Structure 1
Amino acid sequence: MQGWADLYSWQLDRASRTPLSRQIYMQVCSAVASGALCAGARMPSSRAMARQLGVARASVVSAYEQLLAEGYVESRHGSGTFISNDVAGLATRRRAPRAIKRTVPTMARAFPDFERSAVQGDARPFNTGRTLIDARTADTWRTLTHRAVRQFGSNDLGYADPAGLTALRANICDYLRAARAVQCEAEQIVITAGTQQAIDIAIRVLLAPGDEVWVEDPGYPLTHAQLLLAKVRPHAIPVDDQGLIVDTGRRKAPRARAVFVTPSHQFPCGVAMSMARRLELLAWARQSGAFIVEDDYTSEFRYSGPPLASLQGLDRSEQVIYVGTLNKALFPGLRIGYAAVPRALLQAFVGARYLIDRQPATLQQEVVSQFMQQGHFAAHVRRMRQLYREQRDALAETLTRRAAGSLDVALPDQGMHLVAYLRDGTSDVEIEEAARRAGIIVRAISRFYRSARPRAGLMLGFSGFPRQLIVPAAARLARLVASRGRD
């Protein structure tokens, strides 16, 4: 039999925390998988291997026993230990690129090339979707989490209601009725992982392949991507300073089955839908039998005047699915959002939620429920609203003062980002790329247009960065934009 194992370059990392027996085991597995050791190859005896590696024989014996138990090697009485014939097909071989390409399913290729989470995870200013929490919220969160863990019991060990914990749904319902004038009962609240999952469920429940829908233009790219994956026909409806233009929607797609809107803080432009336009959209939905999916993703943070009434709160025919999230109000890693669902759709919505990932995590829900129940959530939102307003103002003031000839800064009344429009025909995509090289993250809003004529502008998040970081970064960005404008 072949003795290639005697020639194999066995090496151990003695500084590693991985036990020596485990390292030996992993090296043999790797050698088999790569084809370096073929079926029938004879392994060194445990004593010989121990001498070669300079380890105790017990470490080699332990590794061999594990390999034997898993079928990588076989012991032949009186002959020794050999690589098993059963693992002959494990060796990897390089495949030609064409062969790899042919193995990709058609549906896998249908997924669009959208922005990955790693982009949003970039901590440099002025990335969007980032939040801050102060010491008071951090300390409270730790206390409530420790308490929830200490009270960990049988209810946390098993399956729970796919719609979410009753207490959390009741707290969210109370909050929405008070803060957003949402008309609902606790049973109509479904807990999700965020707005993205809620929109995904709404698409599954409302639409069939080929159905027509309205989406905002410009609009949120991931919603558009979800609709395409569902084989729905999205029609891009332009947005003006009053929000989505309903008359254009009627002309372009009169038989649309649904509309997806961000009426309180339009993504990305930041405009609020006027009351006249809201009533017009509700009237169209009522007359056509269509549904409205209202994405109220940053409703907590309004900086001038009381929060605008939700579309859902104005609806009297239960044709609005109201979608919100705590991931923006608290922190994105929380992964808790919600939907207020019309009663006629509730059973289907919960059923789809169940099929997607069974249920939300109970322990985290308990922490959030107590955080809201004890008044910490309302206090946190008040403090962050003031902080974010100061950060918004610092960003807008710096950009306006340093690049007034190159930028028109739109100061939003709500939300966690602002848009600075570029003058003189400068490309926002080129600025986006140049800013990234300079250590600054901005998003070119021209990418978010579908049919409407793109307007060049930069979307800048201000919620996740303290003022002392915002001002110098905004000054660097202003210099970069001004220099590009002179080129």
Structure 2
Amino acid sequence: MFLKLDADGALYDQVYRALRGQILGGRLAAAARVPATRDLARELGVSRNVAIMAYRQLLDEGYLTARKGSGTFVARELPRHLTTVAARRRPVAARTAAPVHLSAYARRVLEASHGVQFTWAPRRDVLPYDFRYGPPSFTDFPHETWCRIVARRARRVTIRDLDYGTPEGLPALREAIAEYAGRARAIACTPDQILVVNGSQQALDLAARVLVDPGDVVLMEEPHYRGARTVMKAAGAKIETMAVDDHGLRTAELAQRRTLSRLAIVTPSHQFPTGAVMPLARRLELLAWARRAGACIFEDDYDSEYRYSGRPIEALAALDDSGCVLYAATFSKVMFPSLRLGYMILPERLVEPIRSVKALMDTGGPSLAQAALVNFIREGHFERHLHRTRTRNASRRAAMLEAIERHLGSRAQVSGINAGLHLMLWLRDLPASRSRELRMRAARAGVGVYSVEPFYLSPPKQIGLLLGYASMPEKQIAEGIRRFAAIVNSL
């Protein structure tokens, strides 16, 4: 605690005034613990008796309270006359500071976010039927198993483990990921091509920093993930979009493009947000275009583990024979978001540039979580968890589809139902101009629904909603849709 003594009068009085100023100024909050007298004396370079005398006066005047065996604390409530004095002594507000010069990057971030603070945290007003897309069901996660593994790894931490880790991630985790990617996504890669990142958002940022200069054209799907668009606009990219249909990006239109694109960002295994799956022929067309254009492709494989019909689909990166695909995946959707771990599988020519940039950004991620994840994967818990949650999410998906059919019928059209953790719902006869009204009325009924408009550069003319179903039980999903449908049917 920083205390400035004013050199006026006895030492204990100087300490008393300094502490009182901290309390009245709000820098020492109500009920906050204050240092022990021995510690305060050592910090200020005074005798302990000086500190004791200052504390005694503060206790007598009601600024501090003492709890036997616990320590000394700021009073929870100051007497009225003390707060009145504090109000009178409050310093005059400082003059308005000169405007801060923001970098071009910061100005682009603010412009791209349109004044809305970016956050992935849940909404503050907790709704009983919240169809927020993205988060998995935390009750499905084997929490106790994970905690045991984390505790076991923590007990084995050595002195060497307290030092910085490598920016590319723990070797053992990269080996485990390489094995899993080969088994689950048919990607043949070495651990040296794996880069452990703090989720797919950092992967996008790394790709932008390494591959995009201001003014470069980045090709994106329409609609698309807003977080990717904002990262690229912050890098100074010019965003150009191509429409998607029921089979993903319309790759036949690539041949008609006249502008040179540096990078294309795609979600071929489960297009975000429509849910379309890109067939093999289009994947090969996209790879051929990248070779001709000398462009790279960022494959965002954000939730392909959850597929409910048809055979598993190999990743676009598994078909890449020219080293143009940067593959990114995250553990946020299959485990839990606060783990903040994901990974990139990089073409060999991009490993060192992207690794070097990441080293400057964060010097490497937390080692304990990575070490625990190694055990979680190698002991079989990860794939058992995937199997269980895939089954549970299929049941939740079925409950949502049944409720939509029952309560909305022909008024609704759904897409993206074969995979993932969400679906898109289109209300055929309601214009987009009524979207905000609908969502506000739904919130008042305890139902959280989310517009598709932020994912379009040219928003659609009818109401489209993105509804997540992974974080609620079936009965809650059914009741939420029933309540929502009652509002829709009243419009």
Does TM, normalized by the shorter one, top 0.5?
Answer: yes
| Aligned amino acid, residue 100 of structure 2 | T
Distance 2:416 2:197 in 1: 31
Compared CA separation, residues 194 and 455, structure 1 to 2 (3 A): farther
Q: Which residue of 1 aligns with 2:485?
A: 478
Deviation string 1:8-51 (CA, Å, 9 cap, x unpaired) is 997799x965346789xx9xxxxxxxxxxxxxxxxx98776554
Is 1:388 equivalent to 2:385 in the alignment? no
Deviation string 1:127-171 (CA, Å, 9 cap, x unpaired) is 111112456711210110110111111232001111000111111
| Aligned amino acid, residue 303 of structure 1 | Y
Conservation of the 8 A alpha-carbon contact between 2:428 and 2:462 = no
Distance 1:328 1:136 in 2: 11
Q: Which residue of 2 aligns with 1:449?
A: 456
Distance 2:310 2:321 in 1: 25
Q: Which residue of 1 aligns with 2:446?
A: 439
Aligned-partner SS, 1:228? helix
Is 1:283 equivalent to 2:288 in the alignment? yes
Partner of residue 303 from structure 2, selected from 270, 287, 298: 298
Compared CA separation, residues 426 and 161, structure 1 to 2 (3 A): same
Q: Which residue of 1 aligns with 2:365?
A: 360
Partner of residue 100 from structure 2, selected from 95, 103, 117: 103
| Aligned amino acid, residue 93 of structure 1 | A
Partner of residue 464 from structure 1, selected from 458, 468, 471: 471
Q: Which residue of 1 aligns with 2:337?
A: 332
Partner of residue 18 from structure 1, selected from 32, 36, 48: 32
| 1:55 Cα deviation after fit | 6.6
Distance 2:23 2:406 in 1: 65
Conservation of the 8 A alpha-carbon contact between 1:168 and 1:368 = yes
Conservation of the 8 A alpha-carbon contact between 2:424 and 2:465 = yes
Conservation of the 8 A alpha-carbon contact between 2:140 and 2:389 = no
Compared CA separation, residues 92 and 286, structure 1 to 2 (3 A): farther
Conservation of the 8 A alpha-carbon contact between 2:185 and 2:313 = yes
Q: Which residue of 1 aligns with 2:43?
A: none
Deviation string 1:106-132 (CA, Å, 9 cap, x unpaired) is 544432245632654566420111112
Distance 1:54 1:212 in 2: 62
Aligned-partner SS, 2:326? strand
Q: Which residue of 2 aligns with 1:68?
A: none
| 1:470 Cα deviation after fit | 1.1
Distance 1:452 1:45 in 2: 65
Q: Aligned Cα RMSD in Å?
A: 3.4
Please report the TM-score for the alignment, with normalisation by the length of structure 1.
0.81
| Aligned amino acid, residue 119 of structure 2 | S
Conservation of the 8 A alpha-carbon contact between 1:214 and 1:249 = no
Is 1:153 equivalent to 2:155 in the alignment? no
Compared CA separation, residues 52 and 402, structure 1 to 2 (3 A): same
Partner of residue 249 from structure 2, selected from 226, 238, 244: 244
Percent identity over the alignment is 33
Question: Which runs of structure 2 are paired with 1:203-242 in the superposition (5 Å)?
Answer: 203-242=208-247
| 1:284 Cα deviation after fit | 0.3
Listed as ranges, the gaps of 5+ residues in structure 1 are 27-43, 64-89
Compared CA separation, residues 241 and 405, structure 1 to 2 (3 A): closer
Distance 2:117 2:273 in 1: 15
Q: Which residue of 1 aligns with 2:118?
A: 116
Partner of residue 132 from structure 2, selected from 127, 131, 144: 127
| 1:408 Cα deviation after fit | 1.3
Compared CA separation, residues 129 and 21, structure 1 to 2 (3 A): same
Distance 1:451 1:275 in 2: 28
Deviation string 1:74-131 (CA, Å, 9 cap, x unpaired) is xxxxxxxxxxxxxxxx9562545xx57x236254443224563265456642011111
Listed as ranges, the gaps of 5+ residues in structure 2 are 1-7, 41-52, 67-71, 74-89
Instruction: Identify the range of structure 1 (245-254 vs 314-323) with the bigger mean alpha-carbon deviation.
Output: 245-254
Question: Which runs of structure 2 are paired with 1:72-83 in the superposition (5 Å)?
Answer: none
Conservation of the 8 A alpha-carbon contact between 1:129 and 1:332 = no
Conservation of the 8 A alpha-carbon contact between 2:431 and 2:461 = no
Compared CA separation, residues 245 and 152, structure 1 to 2 (3 A): same
Aligned-partner SS, 1:294? strand
| Aligned amino acid, residue 62 of structure 2 | L
Distance 2:316 2:57 in 1: 77
Instruction: Identify the range of structure 1 (237-246 vs 286-295) with the bigger mean alpha-carbon deviation.
Output: 237-246
| 1:372 Cα deviation after fit | 0.3
| 1:392 Cα deviation after fit | 0.8
Instruction: Identify the range of structure 1 (473-482 vs 372-381) with the bigger mean alpha-carbon deviation.
Output: 473-482
Is 1:426 equivalent to 2:461 in the alignment? no
| 1:419 Cα deviation after fit | 0.8
Distance 1:325 1:9 in 2: 45
| 1:309 Cα deviation after fit | 1.3
| 1:471 Cα deviation after fit | 1.3
Distance 2:218 2:25 in 1: 60
| 1:360 Cα deviation after fit | 1.0
| 1:434 Cα deviation after fit | 2.7
Conservation of the 8 A alpha-carbon contact between 2:430 and 2:462 = no
| Aligned amino acid, residue 220 of structure 2 | V
Distance 2:151 2:368 in 1: 11
| Aligned amino acid, residue 180 of structure 1 | R
Is 1:398 equivalent to 2:403 in the alignment? yes
Q: Which residue of 2 aligns with 1:341?
A: 346
Distance 1:129 1:56 in 2: 47
| Aligned amino acid, residue 329 of structure 1 | V
Conservation of the 8 A alpha-carbon contact between 1:400 and 1:409 = no
| Aligned amino acid, residue 154 of structure 2 | V
Q: Which residue of 1 aligns with 2:93?
A: 93
Distance 2:145 2:349 in 1: 38
Aligned-partner SS, 2:430? coil
| 1:407 Cα deviation after fit | 1.4
Is 1:52 equivalent to 2:57 in the alignment? no
Conservation of the 8 A alpha-carbon contact between 1:11 and 1:53 = no
Partner of residue 325 from structure 2, selected from 306, 320, 324: 320
Compared CA separation, residues 290 and 408, structure 1 to 2 (3 A): same
Q: Which residue of 2 aligns with 1:308?
A: 313
Deviation string 1:398-444 (CA, Å, 9 cap, x unpaired) is 01110114211225111110011111133334323332333222221
Please report the TM-score for the alignment, with normalisation by the length of structure 2.
0.80
Q: Which residue of 1 aligns with 2:263?
A: 258
